[in-house]
Chains A and B, each alone.
Chain A
Amino acid sequence: KAGVTQTPRYLIKTRGQQVTLSCSPISGHRSVSWYQQTPGQGLQFLFEYFSETQRNKGNFPGRFSGRQFSNSRSEMNVSTLELGDSALYLCASSRDGDSYEQYFGPGTRLTVT
């Protein structure tokens, strides 16, 4: 069974640009969560999608958005990039919203210059 995949793995963008990251969950999993990891703030919850609906959202500005498609694949978008958005973005999938086992992908490392 294939694990969670995230594309791209590495990305370099310039301040002010926007970026879209993609996450494909494990087959059969319907819940996808996104996390941001930085050296200063650690791991922080961005949002969670379940059956194409955003169920929960962390404390991030509106520049951070996401969506989930009918095949459970999810994308997150960051608009008007700032230097502080440089981070490892991790996606996690679980079978359903109540499943305690969240399986993480390898992450996308975003560098904003």
Chain B
Amino acid sequence: AQKITQTQPGMFVQEKEAVTLDCTYDTSDPSYGLFWYKQPSSGEMIFLIYQGSYDQQNATEGRYSLNFQKARKSANLVISASQLGDSAMYFCAMREDYSGGGADGLTFGKGTHLIIQP
């Protein structure tokens, strides 16, 4: 079974609208971290936001927020007031056994290609 599932291969959104990118995950480890990265066409992965499995509140970073629903194993990224520069691939990722010092590498989803239209 896939550990990270992103069900939206592509999305078209009008500029200034809010966007929700879906991500569900699968793990039996109680300790894990969830990440969102942005990858523009240049290829570099840009860290956007992080949510720890024990965090009580949803993470926020500027226009980015993570809607963390632990029981549903869901970690959706919300981008408020989208901009043309937000057009890129977006990847959800998970790192298990995070706080135990034996963290594995990041497991990535297949990504969502977001296109912001003027």
Which residue numbers of A lie inside 8 Å of B, CB to CB?
33, 35, 42-48, 55-56, 58, 88, 90, 92, 97-98, 100-107, 109
Question: Which residue of chain A is the closest to B100 with respect to CB atoms?
Answer: A98
Min CB distance, A52 to chain B, in Å?
A: 17
Nearest A residue (CB) for B6: A42
A107 cross-chain contacts in B, Cβ below 8 A: 43-44
Contact between chains at B44 and A42 (CB < 8 Å): no
Contacting pair B91 A43 (CB below 8 A): yes
Contacts of A103 in B (CB 8 A): 47
Q: Complex: how many Å from CA A105 to CA B42?
A: 11
Instruction: List chain B residues, Cβ under 8 A from A92.
Output: 45, 106
How many A-B pairs with Cβ below 8 Å? Answer: 62
| Secondary structure of the A contact surface, majority rule | strand
Instruction: Find out whether the CB atom of A42 lies under 8 angstroms from the CB atom of B111.
Output: yes
Option from B46, B104, B108 in Cβ contact (under 8 Å) with A43:
B108
A100 — which chain B residues lie within 8 A by C-beta? 33, 35, 50, 52, 95, 98
Question: Could you name 10 residue pairs across A and B whose Cβ atoms are closer than 8 Å?
Answer: A42-B109, A43-B108, A45-B105, A48-B104, A98-B103, A100-B50, A102-B47, A104-B37, A104-B44, A107-B44
Let me know if B101 is at the binding interface, CB within 8 A: yes
Question: A-B pairs with the 8 shortest C-beta distances?
Answer: A45-B105, A104-B45, A43-B108, A106-B44, A107-B43, A100-B50, A42-B110, A100-B33
Given contacts A33-B105, A45-B105, A104-B47, 11 further A-B contacts (CB under 8 A): A33-B106, A35-B108, A42-B108, A42-B111, A44-B108, A55-B102, A92-B45, A98-B103, A100-B50, A102-B35, A104-B45
Residue B99 at the chain A interface, CB threshold 8 Å = yes
CB distance from A4 to the nearest CB of B (A): 9
In the complex, B60 has a CB within 8 A of chain A = no
**In the complex, residue of chain A having the shortest beta-carbon distance to the beta carbon of B111:** A42
In the complex the two chains form, is B43's CB within 8 Å of A109's CB?
Answer: yes
In the complex, which of the residues A45, A46, A88 contacts B107, with contact meaning CB atoms closer than 8 Å? Answer: A45
